[in-house]
Structure 1
Amino acid sequence: MDEATWRERRAAHEARVEAWVRPHLERREARVPHPVEDFLFTYYSQRPAALRRWHPGYGVVLEGGWSTYAGLKGYVERPGGHATVAREHVAGQRPLLTALHTLLSATASRPAQLGCFGLHEWAMVYRLDQSDVRHASWPLRLGPRGTDEVVEGHRVACSHFDAFRFFTDEARPLNTLRPGRDDRPAFEQPGCLHAGMDLYKHAYRLSPLVDSDLVADCFDLARDIRVLDMRASPYDLSDLGYTPVRIETPAGKQEYVAAQRAFAERGAPLRARLVADCERLLAVC
């Protein structure tokens, strides 16, 4: 890739993600956390600086790029001061590529299940006092007792281990499924909001092997999903401008399912791109 082209693409990527990164950094400096907008930066391990950094993906040689990419993990110099991701680095990522290909392919093979109604967030505060909940600065819409009644009055069917593991001790036995840390391919399904958000995690874990445009696309999806996740949660975030999705009502359930279906449809091509990248990279290991 000629230098003018890759520098233009890098600048476009940096400008795109800056709209997400800068407000987070400003809030962090001011010590004013945001339960929605900060989630992708605090729950996931990708640092803001790494999200800003553009990679072309394996197989692209950047003309004159060594002065910019020298010292970055996975890169090697080519004659003439060019830079590219080393094939040896791809080979070293084979276990990760294999695991992600298995998980993503299994998830894509299943139909979306749309009947959970976001109850994972409710199960995370079940039978807790307001002072003990994850976002204690924000009140529960229905209060502690009303929140507990919603959990007790519904079938809880969370298929995502990284949500299930945050259930309270009292809520965990109420879940009809038992997803575990090591059996994600047996449970993950494309209708799950957290499976959709995790596409961002899978994408950045593959950096610099994949194009950063894919990472940003996955972040964009995850950011929108997080909004629904918290609008449908038991928290009252109206002071932040979020109207609740009242999943305890028939109308709220319909609204949630419609949005969940739309996110599953948005996530499908991103998941397919990740699967295709894993297959391409595994072929050269």
Structure 2
Amino acid sequence: MREGHEAQVAARTDAHVARRMAGEKHPVEDFLFTYYPFKAGQLAKWNPGAGVLLELETSGDREYVDRRWYRTDGTVAEVDLESWRADRGEGARFIAALLSATLDREANLGCFGLHEWAMVYRMSEDERRHQQVPLRLSSAETDAVVERHRIQCSHHDAFRFFTAAARPRNTLQPTRAGMVGNEQPGCLHAGMDLYKWAMKIGPIAPSPLVLDCFDLALDIRTLDMEASPYDLRGWGYGVVSIETAAGKAEYMERQQAFSRRAQALRRRLLDALAAAGIS
């Protein structure tokens, strides 16, 4: 299982590691390693999850579990839940509350990814984050898209990147303190963040669950950028023209599918937390 997990992670991360060593950047595939504080090596660490006993057959097995939040008893090892709860219990309870609240809400599918447009609203070319990627429209046309639409971003970590000129245009003013009250299952960033929560709860999340969260986050990031004002056709991606009726329809269809995947992962994350005594 461990070797299989490491191979799966390598297939997902080797290109990123090679780019990092070469000083190169990818606007989609590198995002999960720059936006979130987790390196490829951390993702490669295999964990069976809370309550699972591991048989230690070799000295290599013993070395592998000789790390934080594991305990051994003779020839078996498991996650030390008491130690983990003492160190991570408070944060885990917040994660459980956030996941539960989001799971119970209806998905709002009417945002059309305008958060990415609000992040470049009235911004000069020199100020833009992805300077290696051109805009799909002119700066004036990009600003006009923002001005023609109702922006209703509920996610604090997206909203905080809005330009100063765009912030008052948002119907909400989300804060980190209000995350449990604001998070909703249609939000792309809330779906991407499931990878963050899976990594933060560490060894109690089975590695297959963590990888499923990673895969969802990468798929969402693809739509996030295809629907953005940036033109990624030179990188092999498509365009979701959310300024048109057809683009809005495509965005909502893909957003709804991601929302269903995210809700299923929230249930699995909550099950993992419950197995560790967190509810």
Q: Is TM more than 0.5 here?
A: yes
Partner of 1:76: 71
Mapped to 1, the partners of 2:38 and 2:208 lie a distance apart of 15
Mapped to 2, the partners of 1:94 and 1:17 lie a distance apart of 27
Mapped to 1, the partners of 2:47 and 2:162 lie a distance apart of 37
Deviations 1:31-51 (A, max 9, x none): 110010000011001111010
Deviations 1:177-232 (A, max 9, x none): 11101110111000000000000000011111111111001001111000000000
The 8 Å contact of residues 107 and 190 in structure 1, kept in 2 or not, is answered as: yes
Matches within 5 A, 1:103-252: 103-252=98-247
Decide which of 20, 23, 29 is 1:31's aligned counterpart. Answer: 23
Mapped to 2, the partners of 1:190 and 1:176 lie a distance apart of 18
> SS of the residue aligned with 2:142?
helix
Shift of 1:88: 2.2
Once superposed, what is the RMSD of the aligned Cα atoms? 1.2
Decide which of 235, 241, 252 is 1:257's aligned counterpart. Answer: 252
> SS of the residue aligned with 2:78?
strand
Mapped to 2, the partners of 1:280 and 1:96 lie a distance apart of 16
Partner of 1:16: 8
The 8 Å contact of residues 94 and 282 in structure 1, kept in 2 or not, is answered as: no
Matching residue's letter, 2:261: R
The 8 Å contact of residues 98 and 282 in structure 1, kept in 2 or not, is answered as: no
> SS of the residue aligned with 2:276?
helix
Shift of 1:137: 1.3
Q: Which moved more, 1:246-255 or 1:83-92?
A: 83-92
Shift of 1:255: 0.5
Partner of 2:90: 95
> SS of the residue aligned with 2:122?
coil
* Structure 2: unaligned runs, 5 residues or longer: none
Shift of 1:252: 0.4
> SS of the residue aligned with 1:208?
helix
Matching residue's letter, 2:20: R
> Does 2:55 align with 1:63?
yes
Q: Which moved more, 1:85-94 or 1:269-278?
A: 85-94
Mapped to 2, the partners of 1:68 and 1:274 lie a distance apart of 24
Mapped to 1, the partners of 2:263 and 2:91 lie a distance apart of 21
> SS of the residue aligned with 1:234?
coil
The 8 Å contact of residues 50 and 275 in structure 2, kept in 1 or not, is answered as: no
Matching residue's letter, 1:140: L
Mapped to 2, the partners of 1:101 and 1:87 lie a distance apart of 16
The 8 Å contact of residues 158 and 189 in structure 2, kept in 1 or not, is answered as: yes
The percentage of counterpart residues that share the same residue type is: 51
Shift of 1:15: 1.2
The 8 Å contact of residues 50 and 272 in structure 2, kept in 1 or not, is answered as: no
Deviations 1:136-158 (A, max 9, x none): 11111112111100000000000
Give TM-score, length-normalised by structure 1. 0.93
Mapped to 2, the partners of 1:274 and 1:87 lie a distance apart of 16
Partner of 2:79: 85
> SS of the residue aligned with 2:205?
coil
Shift of 1:83: 2.2
The 8 Å contact of residues 204 and 273 in structure 2, kept in 1 or not, is answered as: no
